[in-house]
Amino acid sequence: DIQMTQSPSSLSASVGDRVTITCRASQSISSYLNWYQQKPGKAPKLLIYAASSLQSGVPSRFSGSGSGTDFTLTISSLQPEDFATYYCQQSYSTHRFTFGPGTKVDIK
């Protein structure tokens, strides 16, 4: 099975900061990588698919990059509504799409 890791597990940042979250796969997954945002008590929301494709309606301050085993999610200028937990998910294994452990972004 493909294992996903994320770093850091949590971070504190201020409004306006540039934030970068890293996701690593245990084997090459090409660009089969999605990013989701989840706020407390809410369902996850798709941000990025295929490593770098922005989902419709998602603000352009969110961007994704990477391929192979190493990926990043970048928030160019953190907004108050961006404080949440972010999960990566691999979609390389045929319909067995495992998630990373999550990165919690909170207010400094």
Partner 1 sequence: EVQLVESGGGLVQPGGSLRLSCAASGFTFSSYEMNWVRQAPGKGLEWVSYISSSGSTIYYADSVKGRFTISRDNAKNSLYLQMNSLRAEDTAVYYCARGRSRDGYNYSDYWGQGTLVTVSS
The residues of the shown chain that bind partner 1, judged by CB under 8 A, are: 1, 31-32, 34, 36, 38, 42-46, 49-50, 53, 55, 87, 89, 91, 94-102
Cβ at position 33, least distance to partner 1 in Å: 9
What is the DSSP track for 10-35? EEEE-TT--EEEEEEESS--TT-EEE
CB nearer partner 1, residue 69 or residue 101: 101
Cβ at position 27, least distance to partner 1 in Å: 17
CB nearer partner 1, residue 66 or residue 100: 100
Cβ at position 51, least distance to partner 1 in Å: 9
Cβ at position 78, least distance to partner 1 in Å: 22
Strands in 1-108 per DSSP E: 4-7, 10-13, 19-25, 33-38, 45-49, 53-54, 62-67, 70-75, 85-90, 103-107
CB nearer partner 1, residue 53 or residue 79: 53
- Give the residue carrying structure tokens 């996850």: 44
Beta-carbon count within 10 A of 22 CB: 16
The radius of gyration of the chain from alpha carbons, rounded to an integer in Å, stands at: 13
CB nearer partner 1, residue 14 or residue 94: 94
Beta bridge partners of 65: 72
